[in-house]
Amino acid sequence: MRHLFMRRDTLDDLPPLPSLPDGYVMRDYIPEDLNPLSELMRAAFDDSQWTSDKLRRVLVDADDVKRIIIIECAGVPAATASARLMPEQHPNSGYVHWVAVAPAHRGKRLGYIVTLACLYAFRDFGCKDAVLETDDHRLAAIRIYHELGFVPEDRHPTHAERWAIVIANLMASANL
């Protein structure tokens, strides 16, 4: 199944970065994060395939990943997002990549903050806009992306119908 695609068409009007909750610090990835970050990814995505080797291959050593942003609590990664540049596929765009929040730290706006930090990084890199791909079931993430100005973009014949279902699910969950 193809991922859903979203775009934020400008980086000129980013909202200010909010303060982190008490006890949280934002910083860039360091080599000591390899194992704890792979644990965060396993927990956030419920995916036992997120080993240290996969993290190294997909993020740490990937030539197109220009920055890995971490929000930590008590010295342990609680949230992350990576800033990826893929000029052949997305010229002048930053690609928000692998946004994750550990289950124990959800509900604190960490996903919003770390995604917004990526947008600021893209602006610093000279990007004009930002794109991302997501899955239909990631409603909390899609809500954050929408709040940050991302809009759906149909890239596949199935996308319009899938977006309609996602939007209906978002509206239903907001009315609970």
Give the tokens for residue 122: 């893209």
Contact predicate 128/92, CB 8 Å: yes
**How do residues 68-118 score in pLDDT, each as one tens digit?**
999 999 999 999 999 999 999 999 999 999 999 999 999 999 999 999 999
Instruction: Give CATH for domain 4-174.
Output: 3.40.630.30
How many other CB atoms are there within 10 angstroms of residue 131's CB atom?
22
Rounded to whole angstroms, the Cα distance separating 98 from 63 reads 15
**How do residues 45-64 score in pLDDT, each as one tens digit?**
988 899 999 999 999 999 99
Contact predicate 83/122, CB 8 Å: yes
**In the chain, count of helices (H) and strands (E)?**
5, 7
Contact predicate 130/10, CB 8 Å: no
**How do residues 138-163 score in pLDDT, each as one tens digit?**
999 999 999 999 999 999 999 999 99
Q: Which pTM was predicted?
A: 0.95
Each domain of the chain, given as residue ranges in start order, spans 4-174
- β-partners of residue 65 are 84
